[in-house]
Structure 1
Amino acid sequence: MRSSVPRSDAVPDQRTALPRWVAVGVLTLATFLVVTSEMLPVGVLTPMADSLSISPGAAGASLTITGLVSAVTAPVVPRLLGDLDRRVVLAAAMVVLAVGNALTTVSDGFGTLAVSRVVLGIGMGTVWGMAAAVATRLVAPRDVALAVSFAVSGVASASVLGVPLGTLVGNAFGWRAAFGSLSVIAVAVALALLFALPTLRSPETAGPEGDDGGRRSLVRPTVVTGLLVMVLLVTAHFAAYTYVRPALEELPRLSADTIALLLLLYGVFGLVGNFAAGAAAGRRPRPTVLLLAAGISVAIAVLAGFGDLAPAAMAAIALWGLAYGGLSVGGQLWMTSAAPDRVEHVTGLYVGVFTASIALGALVGGLVVEGTGILPLLWSTAALAAVSLAVGLLGPRRSRDREP
């Protein structure tokens, strides 16, 4: 994870100063906010659909819209930035996110909701796509893995903490208040980014006409294998997780407040999973991701097979949170270890694939739920997660250096 060109933002010492850790913290808050904004419809799906007079499947499809836009934005933005200050770009993206959440707040039907999610996807793709690459430039070399873990923990904690907290706000004050709050916070984070981050120009040498200057292509066996694993696993996860509230309403027949608390339990285990997986993936990212794939598959299968029993449903949700909580950081470290010479670009590509898989998962989940119901959705997604594990086990491995 090194830059090919010395920059003034590099940390020359063996220790990272406190202001740089503060900058990493603000970056983490930004990733937390963008992914919370994307995923919040999961927690308020039923009241949101009722208020807008649309089906739960249509409300869930709003995640598909955001994911598709983010999937295009994340890999494209690093190639367009040139030597622009990444600090200013990140702050501007947070303002775009604030506008998207504000538009969601005033939506009166699926059309305006769709527009708001397009705007939100642009901000999300930019922030998430740049977060890990920027984090590596804020700290001393020995702290890079930890900084990436913190930055990406915003992604994990958004799904595992942001959604439950947003659900609690939605239950208490209405789903529009939850999105309105996110809009206000996004503006505050934009200002914090401007003050906390140093000036960050392009980290890599570009060749003539903005090409890659002869650097190796990202089409490498370990990168391709990792991306394929993530496509299958993230698609499976989000196809099921998008409809976790209806599943918990239908199988163990839990109340709205109980579901919110159960999602909070998911969040606690997810945070544990994020940092545990970050520590493990810093040494062996590929085996770590495959262990997480096994955990997600087992958790969804338990929910499908024994979800009508409340204790079994709770155990499944806890395991699911533990496994998924480490997935984003594990996958990120797999990618950057496979292409350390192209960190900013491989990060954008990874996030693009990840968010496209979110979109695909939400779309597939909606089609299956509308067509066959909750149980077939859970069983099929558990099987798909198991397929991702098989692909990772059978895929090509590097013959030298550390196994990613």
Structure 2
Amino acid sequence: MSSSVSHPDPVLSRWVAVGVLTLSTFLVVTAEMLPVGMLTPMADGLGISAGATGLSLTVTGLVSAVTAPVVPRLLGDLDRRRVLAAAVAVLAIGNGLTAIAVDFGLLMIARIVLGVGMGAVWGMASAVAIRLVAARDSALAVSFTVGGVAAASVLGVPLGTFVGNAFGWRAAFWSLAVCASLLAPALLLALPELRRPAVVEETGTGQRRSLFRPAVVTGLAVVVLLVTAHFAAYTYVRPVLEELPRMPAGAIASLLLVYGFFGLIGNFVAGAAAGRRPRATVLLLAAGIAVALGLLALFGASALIAGVAIALWGMAYGGLSVGGQLWMTALAPDRVEHVTGLYVGVFTGSIALGAFAGGLVVEGAGVVLLLWSTAALAVVSLLVGSVGRPIAA
């Protein structure tokens, strides 16, 4: 007699797990980047300057830069599912502390806690996603997982900005704390048990290759330059839009939504392209960021051109996370967990560097020079990538 009990589709359950991972990257990047949309009210509420508030991104990025490459080396045979859930719980604590911050000191403590959770989640998510699906679907799984980064711009930061404008910036961070508290148990339910990768990460000679091979170093150099350029400008996009086209808060929130929408498109377009030619894809994205920043510097006083530049910027940067991730994986397929952690560490460290450098330029020379200098840095990243070794093009 046949059983009438139906069993869940294992393929479907694995893609559901990828979806929960996507929510995790969405949440960590929303939490990291929300001060961009809330920069002015946060500064006013804490009684500090916009540049000092922007340092909250620097601190988060620095802590995440240390956490992301270290975590894979410390995991051993720990269940990756439980580590991810614990990291999201830490994220909830960091958002709650941000919501109750009353001065610069407590804000920095909150963002340090946030950086620990962010580094662990972002550093592991893509490597875990690859293990959840068939090899032929790995690029798509990474695109979806990293798509949470772009979706954070499409929905997370704009919605957080709208909530902050309506109910105060503290309410926006409380909302993130609640969402993280719900997501932690969801990870435990959706993901299978994942221990140390079964495949020994060694070369054919039985000796492990160093991650710091020439092609990887070139790729990381491109990432450092390009992410630094992007975040030096993007951290202060609200002051840019307030000063050049003189946009009100509501219009800025809407334009950030446009930025994020095009970023989501860029994520999947770049993911498809980078699955075949990751290096060329990243260099094309670098050119797009340079052009967008140049347009803002030249014609940013026009609301229409500013909108076009923001859309182009969103599409170009939206593809960078997945493009860079697939590039690094192609350069070190024998060390996927470790190269992913290293990549995310470099990426988030560059976020910190960019936010810090952008604050110095904004307070010392203004937003126009900031845009020109970051456009030039994006061009340098393009040149470095063009003259480097064309491995995994």
Q: TM-score, normalised by structure 1?
A: 0.93
The one of 100, 113, 127 aligned to 1:133: 127
Equivalence for 2:185: 191
2:19 alignment partner AA: G
Equivalence for 2:359: 366
The aligned runs of 1:160-175 (5 Å cut-off) are 160-175=154-169
The one of 153, 157, 163 aligned to 2:151: 157
Superposed structure 1 runs of 4+ greater than 3 Å apart = 204-207
Residue 308 (str. 1) matches residue 321 (str. 2): no
- Conserved 8 A contact 2:153-2:257: no
Equivalence for 1:61: 55
**CA deviations over 1:320-344 (Å, ceiling 9, x no partner):** 0010000000000000000001000
Equivalence for 2:26: 32
**CA deviations over 1:238-270 (Å, ceiling 9, x no partner):** 000000000000000001000000010111111
Query: Please, which runs of 5 or more residues in structure 2 have no aligned partner?
Result: 1-8
- Conserved 8 A contact 1:16-1:139: no
Residue 89 (str. 1) matches residue 115 (str. 2): no
Give 3-state SS (helix, strand or coil) of 2:132's partner: coil
Equivalence for 1:181: 175
Q: In the TM superposition, what is the alpha-carbon distance from 1:16 to its structure 2 partner? A: 6.8
Give the whole-Å Cα distance in 2 for the aligned partners of 1:301 and 1:110: 33
The one of 218, 222, 225 aligned to 1:225: 218
Equivalence for 1:252: 245
Q: In the TM superposition, what is the alpha-carbon distance from 1:134 to its structure 2 partner? A: 0.1
1:251 alignment partner AA: L
Q: In the TM superposition, what is the alpha-carbon distance from 1:160 to its structure 2 partner? A: 4.1
Q: In the TM superposition, what is the alpha-carbon distance from 1:161 to its structure 2 partner? A: 3.1
**CA deviations over 1:156-180 (Å, ceiling 9, x no partner):** 2223432111111111111000000
The one of 57, 65, 70 aligned to 1:71: 65
Equivalence for 1:388: 381
Give 3-state SS (helix, strand or coil) of 1:82's partner: coil
Q: In the TM superposition, what is the alpha-carbon distance from 1:220 to its structure 2 partner? A: 1.2
Q: In the TM superposition, what is the alpha-carbon distance from 1:397 to its structure 2 partner? A: 2.1
**CA deviations over 1:21-77 (Å, ceiling 9, x no partner):** 000000000011011101100000000000000000000000000000000000000
Give the whole-Å Cα distance in 1 for the aligned partners of 2:377 and 2:154: 22
1:151 alignment partner AA: T
Q: In the TM superposition, what is the alpha-carbon distance from 1:291 to its structure 2 partner? A: 0.2
**CA deviations over 1:117-152 (Å, ceiling 9, x no partner):** 000000000000000100000001111110011011
Give the whole-Å Cα distance in 2 for the aligned partners of 1:387 and 1:72: 25
Give the whole-Å Cα distance in 1 for the aligned partners of 2:221 and 2:328: 12
- Conserved 8 A contact 1:160-1:321: no
Give 3-state SS (helix, strand or coil) of 1:21's partner: helix
1:344 alignment partner AA: E
Equivalence for 1:143: 137
Give the whole-Å Cα distance in 2 for the aligned partners of 1:332 and 1:156: 14
1:94 alignment partner AA: V
The count of aligned residue pairs is 381
Give the whole-Å Cα distance in 1 for the aligned partners of 2:293 and 2:79: 43
Structure 1 residues 77-86 or 161-170, which shifts more? Answer: 161-170
Equivalence for 1:242: 235
The one of 36, 43, 53 aligned to 1:42: 36
- Conserved 8 A contact 1:16-1:143: no
Give the whole-Å Cα distance in 2 for the aligned partners of 1:254 and 1:40: 19
Q: TM-score, normalised by structure 2?
A: 0.95
Give the whole-Å Cα distance in 1 for the aligned partners of 2:183 and 2:200: 30
Equivalence for 1:105: 99
Give 3-state SS (helix, strand or coil) of 2:194's partner: coil
The one of 70, 74, 78 aligned to 1:80: 74
Equivalence for 2:195: 201
Q: In the TM superposition, what is the alpha-carbon distance from 1:308 to its structure 2 partner? A: 0.2
- Conserved 8 A contact 1:96-1:122: yes
Equivalence for 2:259: 266
- Conserved 8 A contact 1:75-1:351: yes
CA distance 1:293–1:160, change in 2 (3 Å): farther
Equivalence for 1:10: none
Give the whole-Å Cα distance in 2 for the aligned partners of 1:232 and 1:160: 24
Give the whole-Å Cα distance in 2 for the aligned partners of 1:196 and 1:16: 11
Equivalence for 2:5: none
2:265 alignment partner AA: V
Instruction: Provide the alpha-carbon RMSD of the alignment.
Output: 1.2
Q: In the TM superposition, what is the alpha-carbon distance from 1:20 to its structure 2 partner? A: 0.5
Q: In the TM superposition, what is the alpha-carbon distance from 1:186 to its structure 2 partner? A: 0.3
Give the whole-Å Cα distance in 2 for the aligned partners of 1:351 and 1:98: 21
Equivalence for 1:356: 349
- Conserved 8 A contact 1:64-1:359: yes
